Amino acid sequence: INIMKNLILLAFILSACAINAQHFKLSDAYDITNERIIGQEEEDTWQVDVVITDNPENPIASLAISDFGLLDEIRISVLSNPGLEGIKEILKVTVEYNTCCSSTEDSYYLATDDNDFIALPSIKNEYAYEPISDIHYIFPNQSFGKEETILRAALQYTETYTIKDIQVLRSIAWNDDDFDYEDAITVINQ
């Protein structure tokens, strides 16, 4: 009977964790504005600003769109209460290109309780056919998250798009102020 009680308790705890795990949700609280050409017009490189919808005069960030003609879409999503001290939400801006292969570039901005924004290094993913693997940041309140830690991980998928394997590429202890503003990391699927 004690074993049965322990199994029921374990199942309850695991289901509570799964219910509490959050995902990024599309948001209209932020917007893209001020599309403009940078450099030579024939280069087809544009720049856009990420702004708070109610305060478009003060951009959060500027993003370069390397080949505007191949741009498929820009999505803005938010992760509320990410489980990091002093961070109220995380803004994720996904720039998706569509050519012979699909590619995305994800930019992440941590919105502080003081209404400042902290940028993480962007992540680029390229897909030849079907996404077999890609790289993401995983935050404490998400599945596979770790308390007060930001994980950058490569996720491997099965043919039915369920997660088969996770390889942690980097673990960033929150509030250590060492983000190494390195170049974007790219994963290429063959």
Give the model's pLDDT for residue 42.
57
Q: Which two tokens stand for residue 58?
A: 């003060």
pTM for the whole structure: 0.78
Could you give the C-alpha distances from 149 to 6, 59, 82, 175, 188, in angstroms and in order? Answer: 29, 27, 10, 9, 26
Give the model's pLDDT for residue 70.
85
Q: Which residue, among 107, 54, 46, 99, has the nearest Cα to 76 in the 3D structure? A: 107
pLDDT digits (tens, 9 = 90+) for 110-123: 999 998 999 999 99
Give the model's pLDDT for residue 10.
36
Give the model's pLDDT for residue 59.
92
Contact 91, 76 (CB under 8 A): yes
Give the model's pLDDT for residue 177.
52
pLDDT, averaged across the chain? 80
Positions in the chain whose pLDDT score sits under 70: 1-21, 39-44, 130-131, 176-190
Give the model's pLDDT for residue 39.
66
Q: Which residue has the tokens 């990091």?
A: 84
Which amino acid does the sequence have at 19? I
Neighbouring CB atoms inside 10 A of 36's CB total: 10
